[in-house]
Amino acid sequence: MSKEQILIIDTDPGVDDALALTMLSNLNNNVDNYSKIIMSSIGGNTSLKNTHQNMLDIISVTKLQHSEILKGSESTLTGEKFVDAEHYHGKNGLTLQLDKNTDSHSNLETYEYLHELLLKNENVEVTLLMLGPLTNLAKSLVSIPETKKIIKSVVIMGGAFYVRGNATKYAEFNIYADPEAANIVFKSGLHIKAIGLDVCDSVIINKEKFYNSQYEFNKSKSVLGKFSNSIIDSFFNYHKDKNEMSLCDPIAVICLFYENLFSYKSKEVSVDTGKLKKGLTVPTQKKGKIDIAVDLNIKKVMNLIDKNLI
């Protein structure tokens, strides 16, 4: 009997998370149907309180179909307060104000929900799309390692494997925000596709093209299209000095549905948890189970992002 396919989206909205969730609303209806989509928040770009509220508000606007709302970890794996990236994503994590969604969430934290899935029903396969720090997954693996048995695959937006970081010169933000969690996840033996900064810089929103309506989604009159345009417009209004907007999380969404548009190096990866190089992701020479994306079909990936923001 085929196993029930469940997608858990772990997110710290975040302007690029907001675009990623908008795309998912289109993609899962048209490309690859999971029987259940579970939404999970995590701290990162801003506090958990803010990222959780942002996630609820984005779900309300995009009508992203979901079966469950989970609130993730309040703090990092070692109990630290999350750093934030509000300088980039705006105060409270978004550069635009959304109507408040007051939907409630499960009384299970994300890691506990994964345990429940394991304990009550072996006949599921879970795919994880990790768009923020890896705390929730690491907590699940640390407390019940058997959770791995129900995890089919993981796509992570995170890491700077052969390039410079963006949180520091060593580290990409999602890994920097919880390096201990990342180390546990990368060493878990799970089969992971890692979308790092190595493939993020070549697929971006260009300000001039955006305001000259050169993207297909610029012309969209749909709710999703208008939402995409408002996110990007608010971003460029917030950052008068920026001519580009990164699309890290949307690229990870494309990897989830179109993995063959990327090329990978399969390595073992360790994460520096020290002070100086905290969050540095170090691929070993040995072959391993972390498929590090090292190149991508820029034209096709950008085209798919554009088409799924309408």
By the rule CB under 5 A, 17 interacts with Ca ion: yes
| Nearest distance in Å: CB 124, Ca ion | 25
Binding window for Ca ion (CB under 5 A); candidates: 6-14, 87-95, 102-110, 164-172:
6-14
CA–CA distances in Å: residue 104 to residues 52, 53, 70, 128, 174: 11, 10, 9, 22, 26
The residues in 174-213 that bind Ca ion, with binding defined as CB under 5 A, are: none
Cβ–Cβ under 8 Å, residues 11 and 132:
yes
Contacting residue, 6, 14, 56, 176, with Ca ion by CB under 5 A? 14
| Binding partner of 172, given ligand RIB, Ca ion, none, CB within 5-8 angstroms per partner class | ligand RIB
Decide whether 45 or 62 has the Cβ nearer to ligand RIB.
Answer: 45
Task: Please tell me whether residue 93 binds Ca ion under the rule CB under 5 A.
Answer: no
Contacts of 255 (CB under 8 A, 6+ apart): 155, 193, 195, 261, 262, 293
Of the pair 42, 61, the CB lying nearest Ca ion is at: 42
The length of the chain in residues reads 310
Q: Retrieve residue 183's tokens.
A: 């180390």
Restricting to residues 123-162, which ones interact with Ca ion according to CB under 5 A? 131-132
As measured in angstroms, the least distance from the Cβ of 254 to ligand RIB is 14
Stretch in the footprint of ligand RIB (CB under 6 A) among 12-20, 70-78, 283-291, 292-300: 12-20
Q: Which of 7, 9, 16, 193 binds ligand RIB (CB under 6 A)?
A: 16
Place of tokens 């690029």: 16
Q: Is 166 in the site for ligand RIB (CB under 6 A)?
A: yes
Q: List contacts with ligand RIB (CB under 6 A).
A: 12, 14, 16-17, 44-45, 85, 131-132, 157, 166, 172-174, 248-249
Q: List contacts with Ca ion (CB under 5 A).
A: 12, 14, 17, 131-132, 249
